[in-house]
Structure 1
């Protein structure tokens, strides 16, 4: 049903990841947008669970055969995508993650259609050496063909600005469906363990996510013997599928490790846990972290953007990325002291109210409507005459602390560090704010859970 004042919009979402956190996010977004009466479709490779999520939402799915990594086929993938855009004729093309961002903006907006790019983790985070430099150069260039750069958290925005990506940034923080992920008390923990066939009383750490270098399960496996040395009865469940499964299985762990296949809805695993571990090397804004918050679980995570934004004091602990000793100490501390984990879990459940999915999707719809309105007002020549924000004055990273957003969208002329040094409300009140290239008020790390 179309909301009051909500003109229907036709949106094509494009993604190379067809599973994991990006697929969850897109599935949630298209369901909500279709409920608004919008015409929505998704283009992604066959396989994974994203096509099934589209079918469940009554949303058309188009097969877009794109590989995960960049390479010689990217031009063919770009041409294939442009044919889909021509056929569907959307008001907005919404590109999710690095590969869609590459194919969908090479060499410019597809058929001049207003375009949103949402990195879900910037492309250079997975790159090294020359590929790192090339990824940063590309994102700087491609930003000029983006009508909105949607970041899922403040940390992701900071990373983009520090890398020199200048563009019409919007923050739309990830959210969690608190109807599906609810606080789980001791009785709910026992029920979840019974369903999963787990012992009722053992101290249990759980790590959920794709088994890849990004997610850092190798660091957790390396830390596990030190956890067992402190807490010999502890168990670890690593839940997920991915390229690193065989490598992780072969690693010495001293026992107590269970590998479980990916779960489309991981609420039972989170409910069964005493502590949830997030050893990622990088994140956009971790969905599994938000889901763990909502279930009411203590979190131990890497001190990286996208996790540090969620794991605030009182809900768990942050440790340096790639540090098995520090990770082991933080996990063992909570497994040995259930009262600490329970107290942090209660604080986590309360904190989850700040990440409500309904608000996230409403903000995303608002940004999409604003971008769609550009369709009939496209400036020629790439940049409009009133684009005023391509100078570094507007992007001094010293300004980008948690005081940056004050609940209203800021035009670039207001981005002055002296002004922003004044106290301002918490950044949580400012999702949806605009930053960048004349925005009006109002390779390939694909993030997963």
Structure 2
């Protein structure tokens, strides 16, 4: 049987899409598929695609003729091309123009604006199959003219076990973070406007009357262009919030927290939500995008942009240990229902087999 040859096209390599492509490449290679990843140099270094057994072809995240020609050259020898993200999908569709190579596109997130709508229509109509990581994205793809749109949840890899020397105990983590004797609220994500951290700061101001002597401390791990503005506000208003910057020990930080919080404007399959529920950390999140179907009844959900509702949910949860314990149990149970990495690879490979059956691969050689 002729080996299936695929090209995986990655754009900027966000935490979700980059991790997914690394996982997918590893699983496909293990099943005998030849995988070439086309991505800018940054994501390639961060996710070590060759370490997953994939070939790597550096292609800048640009739509200029030279970049598109470089992508076309790689895709010309493939049985199938799978692009991850809207802009990667547009570039792949352009590169494949005139070639009889099927295109699969995974939509990991959404954006707004007239130009985005035009790009979505172009990508949806060019793809043989559009995969959405949540039901809202599947509906969006159908509305944009996709011939075939399907739900394909992206599995978050299980954390690599760490030794006691590598891990911080919850008590040590709290001491390092200055949260001894006070409730600890944890958020993780890029410091960009759509993450909703302005609303979280509003809510933090409303938490200062909490019954604890020191009141809750809110920690935000992540970097981004909003950092300076957020820090100025924290300093000016003397808010009980600390910006931690980039951290490699998110698991330890979450395990030390009393509550995790996700204040985003929109999410498909939030990495923070998945990590929190897996670890049994009670979660307060905005009821947006794919969050409700991801967490089910295992989190407290509030409307986006409602700082008072967010503060109330955090305050009530911090004051009710029994409810936190209930959510911890529910979170672990909900996480056990999610699709695994193997499930994700099997689903994607079955779609590839539909589009490029083995006999067609043999006949094309």
Q: Normalised by the size of structure 1, how large is the TM-score?
A: 0.71
Is 1:285 aligned to 2:273, yes or no?
no
Q: 98, 107, 121: which one pairs with 1:119?
A: 107
Deviation at 1:288, TM superposition (A): 2.3
Separation (CA, whole Å) in 1 of partners of 2:178 and 2:24: 34
CA gap 1:219/1:112 in 2 versus in 1, 3 angstroms: farther
What does residue 325 of structure 1 align with? 308
What does residue 56 of structure 1 align with? 51
Secondary structure at the residue paired with 2:292? coil
What does residue 406 of structure 1 align with? none
- The answer to whether the 8 Å contact 1:240/1:261 transfers is yes
Separation (CA, whole Å) in 2 of partners of 1:24 and 1:195: 31
- The answer to whether the 8 Å contact 2:170/2:253 transfers is no
Residues 365-388 of structure 1: per-residue CA shift (max 9 Å, x gap): 2223323339949xxxxxxxxxxx
Deviation at 1:178, TM superposition (A): 4.2
Q: 345, 350, 362: which one pairs with 1:361?
A: 345
Is 1:246 aligned to 2:228, yes or no?
yes
Deviation at 1:280, TM superposition (A): 1.3
Q: 238, 251, 256: which one pairs with 2:240?
A: 256
Separation (CA, whole Å) in 2 of partners of 1:196 and 1:97: 38
Deviation at 1:85, TM superposition (A): 1.9
What does residue 95 of structure 1 align with? 83
For 1:225-244, what aligned pairs fall within 5 Å after superposition? 225-230=205-210, 232-244=214-226
Deviation at 1:93, TM superposition (A): 0.9
- The answer to whether the 8 Å contact 1:211/1:244 transfers is yes
Deviation at 1:36, TM superposition (A): 1.4
Cα RMSD between the aligned structures? 2.9
Q: 80, 85, 88: which one pairs with 2:75?
A: 85
Residues 136-155 of structure 1: per-residue CA shift (max 9 Å, x gap): 23322332321110111222
Q: 5+ residue gaps in structure 2?
A: none
For 1:9-408, what aligned pairs fall within 5 Å after superposition? 9-48=4-43, 51-67=46-62, 73-86=63-76, 89-106=77-94, 109=97, 111-122=99-110, 125=111, 127=112, 132-161=113-142, 163-178=143-158, 180=160, 190=170, 193=173, 197=177, 199-230=179-210, 232-252=214-234, 254-263=238-247, 266-313=250-297, 315-355=298-338, 356-373=340-357, 376=360
Secondary structure at the residue paired with 2:357? helix
Separation (CA, whole Å) in 1 of partners of 2:86 and 2:299: 31
Deviation at 1:235, TM superposition (A): 1.1
Secondary structure at the residue paired with 2:295? coil
Separation (CA, whole Å) in 1 of partners of 2:192 and 2:326: 31
Separation (CA, whole Å) in 2 of partners of 1:250 and 1:165: 45
Comparing both chains, which one has the higher relative contact order based on Cα–Cα distances under 8 Å and sequence gaps of 6 or more?
1
CA gap 1:181/1:272 in 2 versus in 1, 3 angstroms: farther
Q: Normalised by the size of structure 2, how large is the TM-score?
A: 0.86
CA gap 1:205/1:257 in 2 versus in 1, 3 angstroms: same
Residues 373-411 of structure 1: per-residue CA shift (max 9 Å, x gap): 39949xxxxxxxxxxxxxxxxxxxxxxxxxxxxxxxxxx
Secondary structure at the residue paired with 1:284? coil
Q: How many residues align?
A: 352
Secondary structure at the residue paired with 1:40? strand
Deviation at 1:159, TM superposition (A): 3.1
Separation (CA, whole Å) in 1 of partners of 2:359 and 2:209: 62
- The answer to whether the 8 Å contact 1:105/1:142 transfers is yes
What does residue 380 of structure 1 align with? none
Separation (CA, whole Å) in 2 of partners of 1:134 and 1:290: 31
Secondary structure at the residue paired with 1:79? helix
Deviation at 1:54, TM superposition (A): 1.2
Deviation at 1:327, TM superposition (A): 1.3
Residues 148-176 of structure 1: per-residue CA shift (max 9 Å, x gap): 10111222212333x44332112111223
Q: 5+ residue gaps in structure 1?
A: 1-5, 68-72, 378-449
Separation (CA, whole Å) in 2 of partners of 1:363 and 1:270: 31
